[in-house]
Chain A
Amino acid sequence: MSKIDRYSSRLVTVGLAVLLVLLAVGCTPEHNQSTFDATGPVARSQLNLFYWILWTAVFVFVVVGGILIYAAIRFRRKPGDPDPEQTHGNTPLEIGWTVAPALILAVVAVPTVTTIFYNANSPDPGSLTIDVVGHQWWWEFNYPHPDGSDSVVTAANELHIPVDEVININLDSKDVLHSFWIPKIAGKVDLVPNHPNQMWILAEEPGEYYGQCAEFCGVAHANMRFRVIAQSRPEFDAWLSTQAQDAVEPIDPLALRGKALFEGDARCWSCHTVAGSKRARGQQGPDLTHVASRAHLAAGIVENTQANLRKWLEDPDAVKPGNLMARDAEVYNDPVRELTGADVSALVAYLRGLD
């Protein structure tokens, strides 16, 4: 037996030990999108199921992998060994190792089916329903209007929900496939154009949760993120009623100039809506009526600060490569219409006032 051979069997043992240690340190529930920190019944049911299968799998792995390595070491050929007995099989064994995995799988199959149905059927179909629409590469959230009318309140990229309530979500897309995923609250469901989907979620703790598009959707797929803000019912109601109002009219002269640009030469109006404005009724981009009330810009990419907003307006492609505003807006493509520094300042002043 060569040295390398002896090393190799030792390496396997060490490798196995390393794997098990890794298993223990690999779960990092404190991370923003960790599935190990389930904070809602949907994610928890999925995590429990995962653990159930994981431990079954670890058991099978240790037994079968162990026997494999044992066999490889135990039955090594020594020089001069005669041919081993030419056994061709063993029927009871074959039946045994066909039935055993089938039984183990039954152990996994039963909770799988119950969890599938638990996740699919909303426990309270009558409670708050939010329409989520996926766009390249941002999220549109439509809430029922608090005044009870048929109109909707539109927000973008930050999903506010009341804590500890069942929320029903309708999922739709206007362009390509996307997938709606809040790892700590619920596993993903895809947004498929012309194929509306539903899901339900519930957040048990108030706070901010990370979400991200999980289905490849083009150049800025990595930057199609969002946040879920779970808050108490009164806070949520207050937020929704603010969002339901028309935009604040600017008073500051710089902001007024920004508004004029927004609704005029800069042509922001052709893609963005600002409720209350007669001109700004565009549907391609996020609704900006209350953009200043959001904590983040560009679908959860950067914090919504004056400096970041400025950077975003000056060169959106540098903040979020591939975004459609940089690609399509005339101000970023036609040198004649390019925004001056003063234009950007005016737009920033206007947008920062839309809270």
Chain B
Amino acid sequence: MTTLAIPLPKRPAHPTGVLAWLTTIDHKKIGILYGVTAFVLFITGGLEALYMRFQLAQPGQDFVSPEVFNQLFTMHATTMIFLGVMPLGAAFFNFVIPLQIGARDVAFPRLNAFSYWTFLAGAILLKLSWFLGGAPNAGWFGYAPITGSDFNPGHGIDYWAVSLQVLGIASLAAAFNFIVTIVNMRAPGMSLMRMPLFTWMTLVTSFLLVLAFPVITVALIELMFDRFFGMNFFSIGAGANPLLWQHLFWIFGHPEVYILILPAMGIVSEIIPTFSRKPLFGYPVVVLSGVIIGFMGWMVWSHHMFTVGLGPVANSVFALTTMAIAVPTGVKIFNWIGTMWNGSIDLRTPMLFAIGFVFLFIIGGLSGVMHSSAASDAQQQDTYFIVAHIHYVLFGGSIMAIAAGAYYWFPKMTGRLMDERMGKLNFWLVFMGMNISFFPMHFLGLDGMPRRIHSYDSAMGWDLWNLVSSAGAVVLAAGILVTIINMVRSAKQGEKAGADPWDGRTLEWSIPSPPPEYNFEQIPTVHGKDAFWMQKRQRVSTVPVAGASGDSHDIHLPQPSYWPLIASIGLLIGAYGLVYSATWTGIIVGAVGLATTVVSVYAWSFEPVNEPVEGAAGH
């Protein structure tokens, strides 16, 4: 055993309080950390949106300056995508996947902690830009060449590029972890085609992450080289074609859209069967269409570029591939309805949000078909019509499903149910608010209102729908406020949930709420899809795995560790230094951060999973 020369605090064996959260490698705690952090960041993204809606409520307002407006829409989208929806998805991956597949943790628990802390580091770095000279201002898509030093001399874009790289590390680490977990750690008997749909969609999403993030990493490295070292990847004066950035960005960016929506589809595919008391209709077809969507997501990126001049042949091909993706999407929707058909539907809050998801996603999907048609898109591209569409698929889609998942798994996480009356109020406020806010944007777009304009002239006739949209945003904000109140109150004084409050179908409902640290006292044996339902209704015995004893004292879980946290802190410091790498201070800070991470990873590699326990040598 290698020991380090530096004196270190003793490894926390059974930490309590804050230290327990800082050093935890328990997937459930990490899931909760992801969820709470991402929800707070989601709210900051919502506030950024509210500022914009106040500015646009009436024509010609000066509530925010154009400079700040550009920062707001850039940060709103970057926040919602990378700091909101993705990590909220990750919160469910973390909490739910090991429970659904009958495992005691993920494959690499410390890497999992590292993913979370690195995500937090990236989030802090990005949000810091507001206070350190100005947030990024070139849109979440960061189209060259406006991100170049000539047009954008401040540090906003540097913060954006560097923090996205940090977030990329977090996402990649998490994605590898979940692929290995899902492939290797399923309970005996759980073949791939017996996996719950949410686990399936997590697997597909993880593959998309692993394949998509390297592309944006390369694009961002090129941008950083341009900005930090004066290279010419996107320099117009040196003859660069800025479409290079667009291709790289959207080859990442379109799979990213499915990274945002597939987990949502997975969540809904869990909730609809549970609250209809029926198995998912057409399970293999729903799985396959999820896989096909993930695969075809790579063939459609140029539909974001219909107006950049790729020529009629390319536009036609990408129009057709984009339309084709509507087929597996439609098939999913039909199978969800098929699941509800002849079911015994209980319209509890999770189910309401799930049905809301399907309903709004139909609208978003159909408006998507309208601009998959490249010629029709020529009038819609870069207008509020697209803003309406993306909010129907990302809010109406992803966020509604995440809310459904939050209400659904909250009792498993906390042991208490969220309040049902407030839940209904929550749903209707959010549902109405989102429609009032986003539906009129269709009209604004077709009425010629471009996106990303900080103000407009009253002569354009856009006053009414902008005002309605802003009013809707306030209703929506009220809905989110109810979510917060309901969560905080229910966590303390909600009705006790018990192990299985919804008459669930999958393994996470077979263990107590909240689950013990080791999840399953005995690793279950799976005999079919909906393993827990089978066990409950058909009394299939769950034969414990050979060697597993029923005594929880014999379960050895990996111990907490400081190293993932310290490695991530090193990344935060290093990335901060990188932003200022044109100065000596920046270089020194960057080097200190990098060294911290390298040392931490080194120490981490030599840290045993468990410190040898006295009297248990050789275990």
Contact = CB atoms under 8 A, between A and B. Distances in A.
Interface of A: 2, 4-5, 8, 11, 15, 19, 22, 26-28, 30-36, 43, 45-47, 49-50, 53-54, 57, 60-61, 64-65, 67-69, 71-72, 75-77, 81-90, 93-94, 97-98, 101-102, 105, 108-109, 112-113, 115-121, 136, 171, 175-177, 179, 181, 183, 186-190, 192-195, 197-198, 210, 212-222, 321-322
Given A108-B323, A119-B375, A83 B307 contact: no
A26 B446 contact: yes
Contacts of B460: 31-33, 210
B362 A61 contact: yes
Contact of B447 (A35, A69, A93): A35
B376 A109 contact: no
Interface in B266-325: 276-279, 281-285, 307-309, 311-312, 315-316, 319-320, 323-324
Interface residues of B, number: 100
A28 B373 contact: no
Contacts of A30: 461
Contacts of A212: 448, 450
B12 to A, nearest CB: 47
Contact of A68 (B319, B358, B448): B358
Contacts of A94: 282, 285, 331, 335
A118 B315 CA distance: 12
B370 interface: yes
A140 to B, nearest CB: 16
A113 B359 contact: no
Interface string B566-582: 00000000000000000
B309 to A, nearest CB: 4
Interface in B318-338: 319-320, 323-324, 326-327, 330-331, 333-335, 337-338
B442 A105 contact: no
B242 interface: yes
Interface of B: 65-67, 70, 138-139, 143, 145-146, 151, 236, 239-243, 276-279, 281-285, 307-309, 311-312, 315-316, 319-320, 323-324, 326-327, 330-331, 333-335, 337-338, 340-347, 352, 355, 358-359, 362-363, 366-367, 369-370, 373-379, 381-383, 421, 424-425, 428, 432, 435, 439-440, 442-443, 446-456, 459-462, 465, 537
Given A34-B447, A35-B447, A89-B285, 12 more contacts: A36-B446, A49-B376, A71-B340, A71-B343, A76-B347, A84-B342, A94-B285, A101-B330, A118-B375, A121-B312, A171-B309, A215-B382
Contacts of B455: 222
Nearest to B537: A83
A191 B358 CA distance: 38
Contacts of A116: 312, 315-316, 319, 374-375
Contacts of B283: 88-89
A18 B307 CA distance: 33
**Interface of B: prevailing SS:** helix
B448 A183 contact: yes
Contacts of B366: 57, 60-61
A28 B462 CA distance: 10
Nearest to A5: B347
Nearest to A11: B428
A216 B376 contact: no
A77 B417 CA distance: 20
A72 B338 CA distance: 11
Which residue among B355, B424, B448, B454 has the maximum number of chain A CB atoms within 10 Å of its CB? B448
B476 to A, nearest CB: 15
A45 B373 CA distance: 12
A222 B454 contact: yes
B299 to A, nearest CB: 15
A134 to B, nearest CB: 12
Given A46-B376, A83-B537, A101 B320 contact: no
A120 B383 CA distance: 21
A26 B443 contact: yes
Contacts of B378: 46, 119, 186-189
Contacts of A26: 440, 442-443, 446, 465
Contacts of A175: 145, 151, 236
Which of A45, A76, A81, A181 has the most CB atoms of chain B within a 10 A radius of its CB? A181
Nearest to B151: A176
Nearest to B284: A89
Contacts of A215: 143, 307, 382
A54 to B, nearest CB: 7
Given A33-B460, A197-B309, A105 B324 contact: yes
Contacts of B307: 179, 187-190, 214-215
B448 A35 contact: yes
26 contacts: A4-B421, A4-B425, A8-B347, A26-B443, A32-B448, A43-B379, A65-B359, A65-B363, A68-B362, A71-B341, A71-B343, A75-B341, A88-B281, A89-B338, A90-B281, A105-B369, A115-B375, A177-B145, A183-B379, A187-B378, A187-B381, A188-B307, A190-B307, A195-B243, A221-B453, A321-B65
B323 A105 contact: yes
A29 to B, nearest CB: 9
B375 A87 contact: no
Given A68-B358, A222-B456, A50 B370 contact: yes
